Amino acid sequence: MKTLKQLSLILLASIVLTACSNDDDGSNPEPVNEEEVITTLKATLTPVGGGTPITLQTQDLDGDGPDPAVITVSSALAVNTTYDGSLLLLNETESPAEEINEEIEEEDDEHQFFYQASNAVATFAYADFDGNGNPVGLEFTLTTAATASAGNITITLRHEPSKSAEGVSDGEITNAGGETDIQAVFPVVIE
């Protein structure tokens, strides 16, 4: 019986001690502001030879939350015109907004943007390349169709695509694989 009594004492003591060690009651947990979330993609198209830049923007301020991304296109594009394009990626959940471009530039061999247009409203060419000479796509040129038309421009960012697969370095997404980090569809008018 003596051993049992001692055991029960140890038992009780251990319960009391461990129960007291959980002292985080009362204080509230701290919120998590997601650091790597991309809320905003802004493509700025500047006509070669000058003119007013046109912006295509997708902005989803609640990240994976229920609100859909808001797509805005500042104005129509001109026919038969070449634009210099550049992308800006932002995390606007932080204040001031954090620029994400840098992270992609640092790991440019693992990222590639793809540009597609429906109804043949435009063609694209890459203007920046990673250390292996493969395209990245933060910089690009866009050439509009020769006739007035309307269609969609789709910009897709893939993480860890297989850049050496057939057609991928020419901007073909079909064989790219990888995971989609951004996908935005912009309805545009060529006039």
Residues lying near another protein in the complex (CB under 8 A) are found at 3-4, 7-8, 10-11, 14-15, 18-19, 22, 24-25, 28-32, 34-36, 38-41, 58-69, 93, 103-104, 106-107, 110, 114, 116, 118, 152, 154, 156, 158-160, 173-174, 177-185
Helix, strand or coil, per DSSP, at residue 102: helix
Pick the closer one to another protein by CB: 25 or 50: 25
CB of 108 to another protein, least distance (A): 11
CB of 62 to another protein, least distance (A): 4
Q: What is the pairing mode between strands 179-190 and 122-126?
A: unpaired
CB of 47 to another protein, least distance (A): 26
Pick the closer one to another protein by CB: 53 or 63: 63
Round to whole Å and give the CA distance between 13 and 115.
Answer: 67
For residue 145, give the amino acid letter. Answer: A
Pick the closer one to another protein by CB: 43 or 184: 184
Alpha-carbon 134 to chain mean position: 19
Contact 167, 110 (CB under 8 A): no
Round to whole Å and give the CA distance between 130 and 36.
Answer: 22
With CA atoms as reference, report the closest residue to 90 among 158, 137, 39.
39
Contact 99, 38 (CB under 8 A): no
CB of 155 to another protein, least distance (A): 9
CB of 173 to another protein, least distance (A): 5
Which residues neighbour 114 within 8 Å (Cβ) at sequence distance 6 or greater? 137, 154, 155, 156, 157, 158, 171, 172, 173, 176
Pick the closer one to another protein by CB: 35 or 191: 35
Pick the closer one to another protein by CB: 84 or 103: 103
Pick the closer one to another protein by CB: 84 or 92: 92
CB of 49 to another protein, least distance (A): 31
